[in-house]
Structure 1
Amino acid sequence: MPQHPTSSPAAVLFSLDDTLVDDHNAVSHGLRSLMERLGHPSFSAARALWDVQGILSTSAYLAGRIPQSEVRRQRLRALATQAGHSHISDQHCDELYQRYLDAHRSAWRAFDDVAPTLNQLAQRNVRLGVVTNGSQDRQHDKLASLNLARHFGVVVCAETAGAAKPDPRVFRLACQQLGVPPHQTWYVGDQVYEDALGALDAGLYPVLCDRHRLVPATDVTTIHSLTELTALASGALPAGARLR
């Protein structure tokens, strides 16, 4: 891999959650709504469990071992058990999870740097797309409600793509749908393994968006806001590390 891009990108693909949209805060908002209903006393314990169970259950879903409804029920039951409720029916799980989804949706916010960055890239005739492991209906709703859908030529969701990040196939599918080869495409995401390394394996140029400066030093080109992306795409030096 070269130290830096040899040319500006013809296309840029983005992860959605926590790259374009503040999902971390939305999850916290939804979780607090559940905690209130369940009488759960500890946000830190609830958040840790919710995140871990989400990874485990979503991985099982993407591997075809459980349906999406079971992902939600497993997360809900784990949280309820932690709060002292050991027996919850499927119907009650579904009702509680809808409460979470409603609260989560009410907290959807795009980061302030998103719209200006997308507009600037579009003005340079850069093709734009999204690759996400999130639920297709939910992610399309998110993009539409935040007035972001109009910016993107493609939105590739794992559940209908037949592959999930970091599988190279999902990145290549997005490139194919945009009509741009991987080596002319950049991928911007907030996760090292799922986003940056997955994109790299697919032949794209990865850019890690570490908004909160939580990722240890890495060889992947790193930015801390999307404002830096436009400078990087125009050939200016990035604020973060460069690929070796």
Structure 2
Amino acid sequence: MIKAVLLDFDGTLVDDSEAKKRAQFAVAKFLTERYGVRLHKTADLIAQIDEEMDERQIYSRDERWRELFKRLGLLYDEEIGASLTDMYFSEYARASRLFKDTLVLLHFLKRRVKLGIVTDTDGVPGLKRERLRRSGVPLELFDVVVVAGEDTGSTKPSATPFSFALAKLGLGPWQAVYVGDKAYADVPGAREAGMYTVIVYRGKRSEPRSPDQRPDLMVGTLAQLQFAIKWPEGRL
């Protein structure tokens, strides 16, 4: 019987698609004004590097800025890099919004199971927890919040963050579900830990790139989870 649901944060509970674009554009605008680089080309390059680094699970913004400066043919400055990180995440947090079905699902689940969040670090200690606090997600509903790469030595897709969260809840993996939005990051580790895996694709469904990225269930929205899985009648 399912006794817990663990969820990803960005892209699962909060819609960060517009936030990411606005944050990338803010950085590109700053670099255009300071170095005279082309605005839209730079914004596109930032987006490309972010996608590449996400897939490689490299979350350090410093490393991303170094790669950006290298491709732009600019000499990297660590102080400028730190300013870019602050700028990026300030804009990112401002523009992130809860999905319309987030609160409904969380309150539905809270009456039936334990809840947790397993999310990766932003690459700056404490920053992800600050974004969680500012996101509008009702953290008081959650029994455990794990920031992988800070609370644990490894980030997703390692199984370690999932096993760590389950240990905090005192549950076995067969008693828990993990819900995310990116198969390459969210499925392999949860599956290795022994959990049932769900991907919310929100109109962007794509085939897994490898067998270990194939979830047990795919749903279009969080709201569909209420009906896609047999839940306990009341919290155990």
TM-score range, shorter chain: 0.7 to 0.9
Can you give the 5+ residue segments of structure 1 that lack an aligned partner in the other structure? Answer: 1-6, 62-70, 236-244
Match of 1:156 among 146, 156, 165: 146
Whole-angstrom CA distance in 2 between matches of 1:91 and 1:163: 27
2:131 paired with 1:142: yes
How many residue pairs were aligned? 215
Residue 35 of structure 1: aligned partner: 28
Whole-angstrom CA distance in 2 between matches of 1:127 and 1:120: 11
Identity of aligned pairs, percent?
28
2:22 paired with 1:17: no
Whole-angstrom CA distance in 2 between matches of 1:77 and 1:167: 26
Residue 4 of structure 1: aligned partner: none
Match of 2:94 among 100, 106, 109: 106
* 3-state SS in 1 of match to 2:29: helix
Residue 82 of structure 2: aligned partner: 94
Q: What TM-score do you get using the length of structure 1 for normalisation?
A: 0.79
Question: Which deviations, in whole Å up to 9, do the C-alpha atoms of 1:142-201 show, x marking residues without a partner?
Answer: 222214211211011112212322222221111111122110100101122321222111
Deviation at 1:54, TM superposition (A): 5.0
2:71 paired with 1:75: no
* 3-state SS in 2 of match to 1:166: coil
* 3-state SS in 1 of match to 2:17: helix
State the AA in 2 paired with 1:215: S
Question: Which deviations, in whole Å up to 9, do the C-alpha atoms of 1:46-104 show, x marking residues without a partner?
Answer: 31123224555x53x7xxxxxxxxx222212333444x451132112212222112111
Residue 188 of structure 1: aligned partner: 179
Quick one: structure 1 residues 49 and 164, their matched pair in 2 at CA, closer, same or farther if it must change by over 3 Å? closer
Quick one: structure 1 residues 74 and 220, their matched pair in 2 at CA, closer, same or farther if it must change by over 3 Å? same
State the AA in 2 paired with 1:192: A
Residue 238 of structure 1: aligned partner: none
Quick one: structure 1 residues 26 and 167, their matched pair in 2 at CA, closer, same or farther if it must change by over 3 Å? same
Whole-angstrom CA distance in 2 between matches of 1:219 and 1:12: 15
Can you give the 5+ residue segments of structure 2 that lack an aligned partner in the other structure? Answer: 33-38, 209-213, 232-236
Residue 228 of structure 2: aligned partner: 232
1:50·1:79 contact (CA, 8 Å) conserved in 2? no
Deviation at 1:131, TM superposition (A): 0.8
Deviation at 1:108, TM superposition (A): 1.9
2:114 paired with 1:127: yes
Quick one: structure 1 residues 230 and 46, their matched pair in 2 at CA, closer, same or farther if it must change by over 3 Å? same
Whole-angstrom CA distance in 1 between matches of 2:146 and 2:202: 23
Deviation at 1:223, TM superposition (A): 0.5
RMSD: 2.1
